[in-house]
Structure 1
Amino acid sequence: MKHDPPQPSSDGLETAEVPAAPVQAETIFGDQFPIAQRYAELLAGSGVIRGLIGPREAPRLWERHILNCAVMTDLIAADSTVVDVGSGAGLPGLVIAIRRPDLSVTLVEPLLRRVRWLDEVIDELGLTNVTVVRGRAETVWDEVAPADVVTSRAVSALENLAVWSVPLVRPGGWWLPMKGASVAEEIDQGRELLAAVGITEIEIVECGAEILDEPTTVARLRVGVPRRLGKSGAKKGAKKPSRRQSANGHGRTGQ
C-alpha cells in the first residue's frame, strides 16, 4: 500500500505524508478502523500544520501513537466514563473514544489552539461520545464529574500527575497513566505521595504484547478515596471556553 504524498494546505504549508496503516490496525480497531484511519490523516495533515504533532512523528503515527494508545482500552470496563488529562492531539483520549464507542470520554486540555483542533476533529469523525473541556486538571476538579477511569500520556512526572489526576477519579475507580520504562522507578520513588492521594493498589501492565512489536506500558492504579493535596503546582492557564464545554485553564506541552 502506497503512502499518500504530502499535500499543500490552503495557506501554502505542506502536510506530512500519511503513513500506511499496519495490518494490526484493522484487527485492533475492527469496525472502527475507517474512523481511526481518518484520524491518522487528520493528524498528519492539519495536526502537523497547526503544531499538534511534529512532522517527524508522522511516519510513525500508527505504531508509536495510535496503536500504542488503542491497546490500553483493554484495561477499561464496558460503558465506563473516562477523563483524559492533557489530551494534546487526542492521545490517548480520542483514540480511546474511537476504538470504544461504548465509553464516554472527556478530554481536558488547556491550550486554545489544541481545543479548537480537537473540536474540529470530533466533528469531522462524527464522534458522539467525546466532550472537550478547556482547562488544567487541577482547576477542573469541581467542574468535571468524577470518572471511572482517568488517563494521561507524556504529560509530566508521575508524582505531579498523581496530584492533578487522582481527584478526578471516583472512589474505587482507576488511574491509568501511560508511562515508559521508568514507571517502576517513578512508582518506587513516589509511593508515599501515591498513598497520600488515595492509591490503594499498584500494578504495571503491558498492553498489546500479543499483537504489537512494542507493547504499551501502563501503570494501573486503584483509587480508594481520592484526596486533594492542593493546587499549588497549578500553572496559569487561559480561561476562554471551548464551544463544547467551559472550564478554567493542564496538559501536555509536547503534543
Structure 2
Amino acid sequence: MTEEQLPITGSFPEPSAEESAAAEAVFGAQLPAARGFVAHLASSGIERGLLGPREVPRLWGRHVLNCAVVADLMRHGTSVVDVGSGAGLPGLAIAIARPDLQLHLVEPLERRVTWLKEVIDDLSLSNVSVHRARAEEMVGEIAGDYVTARAVSALSTLAAWTIPLTKPGGEVLAIKGRSAAEEIEKARKVIRKLGGVTAEIVTVGTAVLQEPTTVVRIPVRTA
C-alpha cells in the first residue's frame, strides 16, 4: 500500500430498505462490488476530496444508483467512454452494474486517477481502464458506442467534449437535472454542427428509484 492509499475503515452508509431493493434489482450478483464502491466513496473518496462529507448519507440513492441505471440504455457488449470520471460517477457505477460493457474513464486530475485505479484494483473490475487526459486529448485514441458524463459542464460545452469521442451511430448519454430542456435548446446548433442528431430527454430507473435519473440522449450520425 502506498502512502496515498487509504484502507476502507469504519462504517459506511447502509442503503435504506427502498434503496436496498433497488440495489439488488440494479446490481444483482454484482451487489458486493457495489457495496465496496460505496465504502471507498465514504472513506478514501471523502478523505481525498472527491466528494463532500455531506454526500455520505446520499451515496446510494443520489449517486451510485442514480448513475448505474443509465446502463439500461446500453446494448450488451458495447463500449463506453466516461468523460470527467472524478469519483467514478457514472463510470464505475455502470461498470459494476454491467460487467459485459467495456469502460474507458477519462479524467485529467492525477489524484483522481490514482484513486480510480485503486478502487478498480481493489474491486477487481477487469472491464475498466483509466486514461489521465482531457477529453479533447483522447479524440482519435478511444471512441465509445456510448459516451457518458455527469455534472461536468453545460451541454453546449459538453457536446464538444463528448460527440467527437462517440462512434458513428453511437450516443452521448449526459446525466442532467431540471435544466435539461433549457440546456438542449441552447446547445442545438453546436450539437448539429458536431454531428449530433436531435437531442432528447429520457428518464431511467422509474421502476426502482424514488427519483428517476434524467438523461439527455444525443444520437450521433452514422456518416
TM-score normalised according to structure 1 size: 0.81
Residue from 39, 42, 53 that aligns with 2:40: 42
| Structure 2: distance between partners of 1:82 and 1:11 | 27
Does the aligned pair in 2 maintain the 1:199–1:222 contact within 8 Å?
A: yes
Q: Secondary structure at the match of 2:178?
A: coil
Greater helix fraction, Structure 1 or Structure 2:
2
Q: 1:102 to 1:11 in 2, by over 3 A?
A: closer
Residue from 189, 213, 217 that aligns with 1:192: 189
- In the TM superposition, what are the counterparts of 1:24-39 in structure 2 within 5 Å? 24-39=22-37
State the Cα deviation string for residues 190-247 of structure 1 (Å, max 9, x = none): 1111100111132211111121110000011100058xxxxxxxxxxxxxxxxxxxxx
- Pair 1:54-2:60 in alignment: no
Does the aligned pair in 1 maintain the 2:188–2:198 contact within 8 Å?
A: no
Could you say which residue in structure 1 is the equivalent of 2:155?
158
Gap regions ≥5 residues in structure 2: none
Cα deviation for residue 142 of structure 1 reads 2.4
Return the letter of the residue paired with 2:162. Answer: S
Could you say which residue in structure 2 is the equivalent of 1:222?
219
Amino-acid identity (%): 54
Does the aligned pair in 1 maintain the 2:25–2:208 contact within 8 Å?
A: no
Q: 1:59 to 1:165 in 2, by over 3 A?
A: same
Residue from 6, 10, 18 that aligns with 2:12: 18
| Structure 2: distance between partners of 1:204 and 1:178 | 10
Could you say which residue in structure 2 is the equivalent of 1:69?
67
Could you say which residue in structure 2 is the equivalent of 1:136?
134
State the Cα deviation string for residues 111-162 of structure 1 (Å, max 9, x = none): 0000000000000000000000001101111222x21000000000101100
Q: Which has the higher contact order (CA 8 A, sep 6+)?
A: 1
What CA RMSD, in Å, does the superposition of the two structures yield over aligned residues? 1.9
Cα deviation for residue 27 of structure 1 reads 1.6
Residue from 199, 203, 207 that aligns with 1:206: 203
Cα deviation for residue 110 of structure 1 reads 0.3
Cα deviation for residue 16 of structure 1 reads 8.1
State the Cα deviation string for residues 45-90 of structure 1 (Å, max 9, x = none): 1111111111111111000000000111000000010000000000
Size of the aligned set, in residue pairs, is: 215
| Structure 1: distance between partners of 2:156 and 2:93 | 25
Q: Secondary structure at the match of 2:197?
A: strand
Larger radius of gyration: 1
- Spell out structure 1 runs of 4+ moving beyond 2 A: 14-17
